[in-house]
Structure formats: C-alpha cells, structure tokens
C-alpha cells in the first residue's frame, strides 16, 4: 500500500510556510511500461513526486531545498508563463515547471524525465496531442544530455536507445524510432534489451503508438532496464 502524511515546510525561495503531502512508502507489482512508467501502486503516486509553493510557484521534490539557479529561473518570464498555464493539466504543468528548473541548472536528463512524467499525466486523461508534444520535448532534452555524455538510462547498454525509441514511437515519429532501434541493436546489449528493441521495431512497422509493457517480452531472469527518474 501507499502511505501518505502531511508535513509542514518552508519554501526555500520565499520562506512561505505551508502543509504538503509526502509519500512515506509505496510498492509496485507487475510490469512497467516500455517507457519505464511503473505499475501500480507507484503508478498512481505522481501527485506526490513534487511540491509547489502556493505563493512564489517554486516546484521541487522538496520545497525546502533549492539549487543555486532556482531563484533566477523562477523569476523568468518563461517560467512564470508556464506556471500560470491554464491550458495544461495542473499536475502535468507542475512537472513541466520542474523541467524548466532542471534545465536551467544544467541537469538535462532530469529535465527530460520531468517532461516524460508530464506526458504520463496527459496519457491518463487521453490528451494525446499534449502527450506527443511533451514526449518530443523529452527526446530533445535527452539528446542534449547524451551529447554531454550523460545518458538518461545509466549503466545499461541500449537502454537509452530503447527509451528514446519508445518516446518517438508513441509520438508517431516512426522513422526516428526505427533509427534508435537500429542504433541499440548495433550495440553489445543483453538479450532481454535486444528482445525489447525488436519488439519496438515490430510496433513501429505496424505504426502502433499505443502503450506497451515490458512483460510482452519473455525476459526470464534477464532483469529490466535501469533508469534515472
């Protein structure tokens, strides 16, 4: 089960005191999605992954902690515009705002994960057009991070290519997704990762943009992709 408790915090930027909900524990049973989204019960805890100051709009995993760049980034017009964006689901917007702050801090991989998390929120409400845009934004951030030698999926050969392939496929970018597949298969990867890449290939050929799970491949004891969330 998931346990949640209230906590009094002071915003690291403006000092505002407020009560936030904090996750004490949760669990996951079943197969993750190909883009690493966890199964229940963790799947339904995204509302607890970030906290938002109800005065200055600062978003963080812990409102009492900030990076050196956060204060300047929160004050920018771009951040303020996204913070007040009424056209996007509030929870998705929270992840987008944190993505902006991570990008400003130079943590492009984390910024990419936040955009993907926002896409998951939109998936649950069948907001396909917004989900697509968020996945494309995640790809762009992950690519920039890769260019700096910082993969989104660490210590797993082919893991980055698998993730990027799924993001591109879900966004309907099939030629691009197939390129990621080919790049992953060309590496020395675990048999399980190769099977997942081959599954992605077949989904791309079928022009399938639906969510699919890791369990669709018989991975026996090969393990699952390690991720950085």
**Domain spans of the chain, in order of start:** 151-229
pLDDT for residue 219: 53
Q: What is the model's pLDDT at position 34?
A: 97
pLDDT (0 to 100) of residue 155? 87
Q: Residue 218 has what pLDDT?
A: 77
> Distances from the Cα of 147 to the Cαs of 98, 102, 175, 180, 205, in angstroms?
22, 17, 21, 15, 28
pLDDT for residue 2: 93
Block means of pLDDT (10 residues each) for the chain, 229 residues, are 96 98 95 97 97 97 97 95 93 98 98 98 97 98 97 94 98 98 96 96 98 84 48
Please give the backbone phi and psi of residue 18, each rounded to the nearest 5 degrees, phi first: -155, 165
Closest CA to 115 of 88, 133, 129: 133
Cβ–Cβ under 8 Å, residues 83 and 99: no
Residue 84 and residue 131: Cα distance in Å, rounded?
Answer: 19
């Amino acid at each position: 089960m998931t346990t949640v408790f209230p906590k009094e915090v002071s915003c690291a930027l403006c000092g505002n005191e407020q009560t936030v909900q904090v996750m004490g524990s949760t669990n996951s049973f079943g197969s993750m999605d190909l883009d690493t989204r966890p199964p229940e019960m963790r799947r339904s805890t995204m509302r607890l992954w970030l906290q938002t100051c109800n005065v200055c709009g600062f978003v963080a995993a812990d409102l009492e902690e900030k990076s050196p760049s956060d204060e300047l980034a929160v004050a920018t017009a771009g951040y303020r515009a996204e913070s007040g964006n009424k056209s996007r689901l509030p929870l998705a917007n929270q992840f987008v705002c944190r993505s902006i702050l991570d990008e400003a801090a130079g943590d492009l991989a984390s910024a990419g994960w936040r955009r993907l998390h926002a896409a998951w929120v939109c998936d649950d409400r069948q907001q396909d057009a917004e989900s697509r845009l968020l996945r494309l934004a995640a790809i762009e951030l992950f690519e920039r991070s890769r260019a700096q030698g910082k993969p989104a999926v660490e210590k797993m050969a082919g893991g980055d290519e698998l993730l990027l392939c799924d993001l591109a496929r879900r966004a309907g970018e099939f030629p691009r997704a197939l390129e990621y597949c080919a790049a992953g298969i060309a590496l020395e990867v675990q048999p399980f990762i190769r099977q997942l890449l081959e599954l992605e290939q077949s989904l791309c050929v079928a022009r399938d943009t639906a969510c699919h799970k890791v369990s669709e491949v018989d991975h026996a004891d090969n393990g699952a992709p390690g991720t950085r969330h």
